[in-house]
C-alpha cells in the first residue's frame, strides 16, 4: 500500500496544512484586522476625550469667574460631548458594530440632554437677568472652547474615516459644529460689553437651537448606518469558520 501522507515540514506540520493552523494560536486575517481596528478606535476616542475634558475643565473655572449662561451652555455641552467617548470606546473594545451603532444613539441622547439643560438655564436667566463681569475672561473661554472642539473634531473625523465608523464621524461633525457654538460665547461677551445684557441668555438660547439641530443630524447619520462591518473587517463574535 502506498503511503499518501503529505511530507512533514521542519515545524512538524503537514505540507498540506500550510496557510491554515489551529490550536491556541488559531487566527484568521479578519480577526487580526478587527483587533487592529479596535485598538485604533480606542486610541481615537481616548485622545478626543482628553482634549474635550481639559477644554471643559478650563471653561468651568472661567464660568465660576464670569457667571455667563452662554458659557454654561457651552461647557455643559463640552462635558457631555467628552463623555460620549466612553460608550464608543467600549464598542471598539468589544469589536462589535452593533454596539458601535448603539453607542452612536447614546451620543445623540447626550447631545439632546445637554440642549435641554442649556435651554432651561437660558430661559431662567432671561426671567432673572444677572450682570456679567470679567468679559475678557468670557471671550477667552469661548476661544478655548473653539480650539478644543476643533482639535477633537479632527481627531474623530480622521479616525472615523479611517475606520469607516459612522458613529465616530457623527461625533466628529458634532465637535466641529460645537467649536463654532463656542464662538457664540465670544459674541456674548461682545454684546454685553456694549450694554445689551440680555444678549447673553439670548445667545444661550441660540446655542441651544444649534445643539438641537446637531442632535437631529447626528440621529439621521446613525440611523442611516446599516451597522455592518466595512469590507475586510467584522465582529469577532460573528466570525464563522468554513472548512
pLDDT at position 16, please? 46
Decide: 112 and 77 in contact? Cβ < 8 Å: no
Average pLDDT, the chain: 75
Q: Could you give the CA distance from residue 33 to residue 145 in angstroms, rounded to a whole number?
A: 36
Residue 65 lies in a domain: yes
State the virtual CA torsion across 159, 163, 165, 170 in degrees, nearest 10: 20
**In angstroms, rounded to a whole number, what is the distance separating the alpha carbons of residues 187 and 118?**
17
Over 70: is that where the pLDDT of 166 sits? yes
First to last CA, the chain: 29
Number of structural domains (the chain) is: 1
pLDDT over 60 (residue 89):
yes
Q: Indicate whether 24 belongs to any domain.
A: no
For residue 150, give Cα distances in angstroms to 99, 112, 170. Answer: 26, 20, 14
Least confident of 25-29, 165-169, 216-220: 25-29
Q: What is the pLDDT of residue 148?
A: 93
Q: What is the 3-state secondary structure (H, E, C) of 124-186?
A: HHHHCCCCCCCHHHHHHHHHHHHHHHHHHHHHHHHHHHHHCCHHHHHHHHHHHHHHHHHHHHH
Report, as an integer, the average pLDDT of 37-50.
Answer: 86
DSSP classification of residue 18: T
| Number of Cβ atoms within 10 Å of the Cβ of 216 | 12
Over residues 221-239, mean pLDDT: 54
The pLDDT of residue 226: 61
The answer to whether residue 170 is domain-embedded is yes
Confidence of residue 32 (pLDDT cuts 50, 70, 90): low
Domain span at residue 139 reads 48-84+107-224
Identify the weakest region by mean pLDDT among 23-32, 59-68, 88-97, 183-192.
Answer: 23-32
Q: Encode pLDDT of 130-165 as tens digits.
A: 777 788 888 898 899 999 999 999 998 998 888 888
For position 23, what pLDDT does the model report? 46
Does the residue 199 lie in any domain?
A: yes
Average pLDDT over residues 19-32: 44
pLDDT at 30: 40
In a domain? residue 95: no
Whether residue 238 lies inside any domain: the answer is: no
pLDDT one-digit tens code per residue, 175-189: 887 787 788 888 888
Helices and strands in the chain: count of H runs, count of E runs: 7, 0
Kindly state the average pLDDT of the residues 50-63: 90
Residue 128 counted as domain residue: yes
Question: Which residue in this structure is represented by grid cell 471643559?
Answer: 56
The H or E element spanning position 31 is: helix 29-66
Give the rounded percent of residues in the chain with a pLDDT score beyond 90.
9
| Angle, CA 100 vertex, CA 95 and CA 105 arms, to 5° | 165
Amino acid at each position: 500500500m502506498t503511503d499518501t501522507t503529505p511530507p512533514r515540514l521542519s515545524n512538524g506540520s503537514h505540507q498540506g496544512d500550510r496557510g491554515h493552523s489551529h490550536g491556541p494560536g488559531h487566527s484568521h486575517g479578519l480577526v487580526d484586522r478587527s483587533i487592529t481596528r479596535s485598538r485604533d478606535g480606542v486610541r481615537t476616542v481616548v485622545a478626543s476625550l482628553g482634549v474635550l475634558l481639559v477644554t471643559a475643565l478650563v471653561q468651568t473655572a472661567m464660568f465660576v469667574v464670569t457667571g455667563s449662561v452662554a458659557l454654561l451652555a457651552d461647557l455643559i455641552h463640552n462635558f457631555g460631548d467628552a463623555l460620549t467617548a466612553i460608550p464608543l470606546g467600549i464598542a471598539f473594545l468589544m469589536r462589535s458594530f452593533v454596539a458601535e451603532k448603539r453607542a452612536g444613539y447614546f451620543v445623540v441622547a447626550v447631545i439632546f440632554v445637554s440642549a435641554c439643560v442649556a435651554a432651561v438655564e437660558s430661559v431662567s436667566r432671561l426671567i432673572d437677568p444677572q450682570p456679567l463681569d470679567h468679559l475678557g475672561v468670557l471671550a477667552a473661554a469661548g476661544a478655548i472652547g473653539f480650539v478644543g472642539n476643533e482639535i477633537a473634531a479632527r481627531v474623530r473625523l480622521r479616525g472615523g474615516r479611517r475606520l469607516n465608523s459612522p458613529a465616530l464621524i457623527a461625533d466628529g461633525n458634532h465637535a466641529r459644529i460645537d467649536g463654532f457654538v463656542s464662538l457664540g460665547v465670544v459674541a456674548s461677551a461682545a454684546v454685553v460689553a456694549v450694554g445689551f445684557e440680555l444678549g447673553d441668555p439670548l445667545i444661550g438660547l441660540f446655542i441651544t437651537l444649534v445643539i438641537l439641530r446637531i442632535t437631529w443630524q447626528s440621529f439621521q447619520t446613525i440611523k442611516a448606518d446599516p451597522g455592518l462591518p466595512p469590507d475586510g473587517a467584522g465582529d469577532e463574535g460573528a466570525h464563522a469558520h468554513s472548512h
